[in-house]
Amino acid sequence: MSFLTATDITVRDGAQTLLEPLSLTVTPGEPLIILGETGSGKSLMAQAIMGTLPAGLRAQGEVRIGAHTLSASEPRRFRGLWGREISVLPQEPWLSLDPLMRAGTQVTEAHRLVRGLSAADAKARASSDLGQLGLTAAARHYPHQLSGGMAQRVAIAAARAGGAGIVIADEPTKGLDAARRDDVADLLLSEMGDNGGLLVITHDLALARRMGGQMIVLRQGKVVETGATETVMSAAREAYTRALLAADPESWTRRAPSRRDGPPVVDVHGLSVARGGRELFSGVGFDVAAGGVFGITGPSGCGKSTLGDAVLGLVAPAAGTVTRRADIGPHGFQKLYQDPVAAFPRKRRLGETLNDVARMTGESARVAPLLEQLGLSPTLLERRPGAVSGGELQRLSILRALLRRPALIFADEPTSRLDPITQARVIGMLGEIAMTEGTAILLVSHDAALVRNTADAVLPLGKTVLPEPQPDAASVATAPH
Amino acid sequence: MKALTSRLVQAVVVAVLIGTATFVMMRSLPGDAAWRIAAGRYGYDNVDAAAAEAVRSELGLDGPALPALLQWLGDLLTLDFGTSLVSGQPVMHEIAHQLGASAALAGIALLLSVLIGPPLGILAGLRPGGVLDRCLLVVSTGLKAVPQFLLALILIVLLAVQLRLLPAAGHGEARHFILPSLTLALGLAAVNARIARDAMARIADMPFWRFAEWKGLSRREVLMRHGLRNVSVPLLTYLGLQFVTLVEGVVVIEAIFGWPGIGHALVHAIFSRDVPMVQGTALVLGLGFVLVNTCIDLIVRRIDPRGETEARA
């Protein structure tokens, strides 16, 4: 018996085909992973079988959910199945809970209104659901009082309360650190049980590996490869799949440590930073030499980005010192932001933005060689930020920072919005820049493997992080206490 | 608690500022105050130099300004608003008498505006760019652009003079409420419809709205359970600020429709240089603004617990 069968699903935007005919079957007790980069059509596929495609896109094909057979071209008819047959675990659970309603009520209402239980029964069911997820106390809380992990579990309970057998999880680990990612994977598997259907849409290879089951690899709206997740991940048949797997930070080869000479660009001693009256970390000390890559890693909320801001002097330390080399002006310290789209003015052409910086620094002649070095086409400069991919935009922001000839670049989660292949490229370039330009790189990422394989020295922040092996014996990093 | 203390401090500051400002403004108005007060007491036709002189010496209008102001502020501490220079009645008594009529008009206008504006705004916000949304934009912008006195005159000409459906002015019967409260309500609704529309459009675009639908709730259930509560927070906050518009409107509208309220009284007090009346009236309106916003703060805090916890953290 299969829960969900989709046959020949296509998605078109006018004459352009975004998703070529795709068929899939979700069987009870076995997760189906749709793996692909941004723009591979994996989310469109999920939207097509949920009937939630954005206006203007047209889907075709047949979707069978339980005893219902629907046409993907009639999205309105899907609404009746939401919550009852098929439910979605949203990308950002925190934003997916009503901020003004208690967590318990958000689960109860689905039991009451969707499943049709009486008020008392619905309440009892909701508290037993939450109890099973270890959230007994959280029922009375509002979403802002929940941690990200608790919000995720409340969202799972709420999504399933209507009695849906099939759960679609769309990038359930977006922006999570490794420990939380594994929690989510385990939770999804245990919630699915032996009888539930689970469709996971992700670009996260570690998540896919942990979930197992079946896998479909998508690229540019086409199926590249299908098979058992384990088989695909250990012995991929297609070159693209192998490239995608090789881009996983876990399987990167470690970058050769850079030569460290000359006085450090920044020297940090006994640094403590507090935010909102709470101490984020204390007693942190390290230095970064010219041409060195220094990595900071840790779970979300541990203060790793704040540490980087303190190094730049954007955040005042509560105690300790940050000494920036005296001969470097303030512009010698640059920051690379997490979301490249937000780091460019939305309505100006990229070339105009870059020219402003180049004119100010008198480095106009460097734009063309840097474009080439970063593998960017000059035609991108004619476009606006919205019309350029995230990877290209992040490389353009590296270029913009380099026009300042910085002594240090603080890269704050520079690839968390990029797909794995692009991520590998961008991080590789940062390493190269450290080497060729002698720029010190302060790399902050929640991905311990990425940092471990890129940095000369790593500082793990936060309690829940497992101690990372210090790759460089001569590293001067001192762990916070 | 902390918020209440700060509101209390705000109320005191408002009282001192309003009292001082009205006093200074009344003193610096051109013309002879004694003549105006005498005119207010005995009527314009019965005023002569002797009557004005009598008033001047009785009230000590030639005296220095500062002691007079300090005297007023001191009396205020004992909740004594003074007596009207024209009627000789305690100001408190006069205001209490007029405030009722104004509060009834303002209350009905507010109720009417909340019945007209937010429902239309919410419907428009559910389909941004739809027919209703575009029509509402045009109508509300138009209404907002028309000054209230003009709107009042248009309504009078249309409904009272041309169609003879309603009385153009007056007070005492239920039908006398319709035109003035409608004029006020349209001005208020024009703006709070926009606020509701923007809040609704923003909320319907949030992930939790989508998620509520995915849980299986019907459109109606999503709106009733997740939409209204979230829209109410910015809307209530805005209604508190609209109190200013309402007071402004009440002053103009009462003058036009001959409504015996606080706005009407304020205008007359200014004409006849009845300083204690002006001070008292402005003070009641200013403190009313603080009171209304304090109440709204408390209600919003009850609906939206987020701010409270952040303050505690």
Pairing between strand A86-89 and A166-170? parallel
Interface predicted TM-score (ipTM): 0.75
Separation in Å, CA A170 to CA A50, A90, A203? 12, 6, 10
A109/B215 touch (CB, cutoff 8 Å), yes or no: yes
| B83 within a domain of the structure (yes/no) | no
* B275-303 vs B91-126: helix crossing angle, rounded to 10: 40
> What would the pLDDT profile of A341-366 be if each residue is shown by its tens digit?
888 998 899 999 999 999 988 888 88
| B157 within a domain of the structure (yes/no) | yes
Domain ends where: A251, A282, A315? A251
Average pLDDT over residues A30-43: 84
Q: Are residues A197 and A340 in the same domain?
A: no
**Chain A residue numbers touching B300 (CB-CB < 8 A):** none
| B189 within a domain of the structure (yes/no) | yes
Residue A314 has pLDDT above 70, yes or no: yes
Judge contact between A171 and A200, C-beta under 8 A.
Answer: no
Q: Are residues A323 and A194 in the same domain?
A: no
| B2 within a domain of the structure (yes/no) | no
Q: Are residues A179 and A307 in the same domain?
A: no
Residue B61 has pLDDT above 80, yes or no: no
Question: What pLDDT sits at residue A476?
Answer: 40
Q: Which of A179-188, A322-331, B61-70 has the highest mean pLDDT?
A: A322-331
Question: What pLDDT sits at residue A352?
Answer: 92
Question: What pLDDT sits at residue B15?
Answer: 84
Q: Does A83 touch chain B (CB under 8 A)?
A: yes
Q: What CATH number corresponds to the domain at position A335? A: 3.40.50.300
Mean pLDDT for all residues in chain B:
83
Average pLDDT over residues B129-151: 90
| B156 within a domain of the structure (yes/no) | yes
**Chain B residue numbers touching A91 (CB-CB < 8 A):** 207
Residue B311 has pLDDT above 70, yes or no: no
**Positive or negative torsion for Cα B88, B89, B90, B96:** negative
**Chain A residue numbers touching B207 (CB-CB < 8 A):** 90-92, 95-96
| A256 within a domain of the structure (yes/no) | no
B208/A161 touch (CB, cutoff 8 Å), yes or no: no
CA atoms of A47 and A78, how far apart (whole Å) = 11
First to last CA, chain A: 55
Domain ends where: A191, A225, A251? A251
B60 band by pLDDT with thresholds 50, 70 and 90: low
**Chain B residue numbers touching A122 (CB-CB < 8 A):** none
Question: What pLDDT sits at residue A32?
Answer: 92
**Chain B residue numbers touching A114 (CB-CB < 8 A):** 215-217
Residues of chain A above pLDDT 90, percent = 14
Domains held by chain B: number: 1
Q: Does B205 touch chain A (CB under 8 A)?
A: no
Q: Does A140 touch chain B (CB under 8 A)?
A: no
Q: Are residues A19 and A55 in the same domain?
A: yes
Domain holding A113, by residue range, is 4-251
Instruction: Please state the separation of Cα A12 from the chain's center in Å.
Output: 27
| A478 within a domain of the structure (yes/no) | no
Average pLDDT over residues B214-235: 90
**Chain A residue numbers touching B220 (CB-CB < 8 A):** none
Q: Does A158 touch chain B (CB under 8 A)?
A: yes
Which of B14, B17, B25 is closest to B266 using CA atoms?
B25
Residue B309 has pLDDT above 70, yes or no: no
Q: What CATH number corresponds to the domain at position B306? A: 1.10.3720.10
| A15 within a domain of the structure (yes/no) | yes
A410 band by pLDDT with thresholds 50, 70 and 90: very high
Q: Are residues A351 and A311 in the same domain?
A: yes
Cα of A228 to nearest chain B Cα, Å? 29
Question: What pLDDT sits at residue A468?
Answer: 34
CA atoms of A384 and A346, how far apart (whole Å) = 7
Question: What pLDDT sits at residue B307?
Answer: 65
Q: Spell B68-94 as b/e; 16+ CB within 10 A means b.
A: bbeebeeebeeeebbbbbbeeebbeeb
> What would the pLDDT profile of A209-225 be if each residue is shown by its tens digit?
888 889 999 888 888 89
CA atoms of B92 and B277, how far apart (whole Å) = 9
Question: What pLDDT sits at residue B122?
Answer: 93
Average pLDDT over residues B237-243: 86
Q: Are residues A177 and A300 in the same domain?
A: no
Domains held by chain A: number: 2
Residues of chain B above pLDDT 70, percent = 95
Which residue of A lies nearest to B220 if distances are taken between CA atoms?
A: A113
Q: Does A88 touch chain B (CB under 8 A)?
A: yes
**Positive or negative torsion for Cα A275, A276, A280, A285:** positive
CA atoms of A421 and A415, how far apart (whole Å) = 10
Which of A258, A301, A377, A393 is closest to A339 using CA atoms?
A393
Half-sphere exposure in the Cβ direction for A263 (13 Å, CA): 9
Mean pLDDT for all residues in chain A:
84
Tell me the one-letter amino acid at A191: E
Structure tokens at A173: 């680990």
Q: Does B93 touch chain A (CB under 8 A)?
A: no
Residue A161 has pLDDT above 90, yes or no: no
Among B215, B217, B303, select the one facing A100 at the smallest CB separation.
B303
| A172 within a domain of the structure (yes/no) | yes
Q: Are residues A303 and A364 in the same domain?
A: yes
A158/B208 touch (CB, cutoff 8 Å), yes or no: no
Average pLDDT over residues B132-146: 91
Average pLDDT over residues B246-263: 84
Which residue of A lies nearest to B221 if distances are taken between CA atoms?
A: A113
| B26 within a domain of the structure (yes/no) | no
Structure tokens at A454: 């890129």
| A70 within a domain of the structure (yes/no) | yes
CA atoms of A75 and A83, how far apart (whole Å) = 15
Instruction: Please state the separation of Cα A98 from the chain's center in Å.
Output: 23
What residues contact residue A398 under an 8 Å CB cut-off, 6+ apart? Answer: A336, A374, A409, A426, A429, A430, A433
> What would the pLDDT profile of A377-405 be if each residue is shown by its tens digit?
888 898 888 788 778 888 899 999 999 88
Residue A480 has pLDDT above 60, yes or no: no
What residues contact residue A259 under an 8 Å CB cut-off, 6+ apart? Answer: A291
> What would the pLDDT profile of B268-307 be if each residue is shown by its tens digit?
888 877 777 888 888 888 888 888 888 888 888 888 887 6
Average pLDDT over residues A87-99: 84
Structure tokens at B98: 């007029």
CA atoms of A56 and A70, how far apart (whole Å) = 20
Q: Does A114 touch chain B (CB under 8 A)?
A: yes
Backbone angles phi, psi at A334, to 5 degrees: -120, 155
B45 band by pLDDT with thresholds 50, 70 and 90: confident
| B117 within a domain of the structure (yes/no) | yes
Q: Does A99 touch chain B (CB under 8 A)?
A: yes
Q: Are residues A192 and A309 in the same domain?
A: no
Judge contact between A44 and A57, C-beta under 8 A.
Answer: yes
B243 band by pLDDT with thresholds 50, 70 and 90: confident
Average pLDDT over residues B143-150: 88
| A481 within a domain of the structure (yes/no) | no
Domain holding B174, by residue range, is 91-312
| A258 within a domain of the structure (yes/no) | no
Judge contact between A159 and A89, C-beta under 8 A.
Answer: yes
Question: What pLDDT sits at residue A469?
Answer: 36
Q: Are residues A48 and A123 in the same domain?
A: yes
| A181 within a domain of the structure (yes/no) | yes
A470 band by pLDDT with thresholds 50, 70 and 90: very low
| B249 within a domain of the structure (yes/no) | yes
What residues contact residue A412 under an 8 Å CB cut-off, 6+ apart? Answer: A305, A308, A335, A336, A337, A338, A444
Q: Are residues A331 and A244 in the same domain?
A: no
Domain ends where: A196, A226, A251? A251
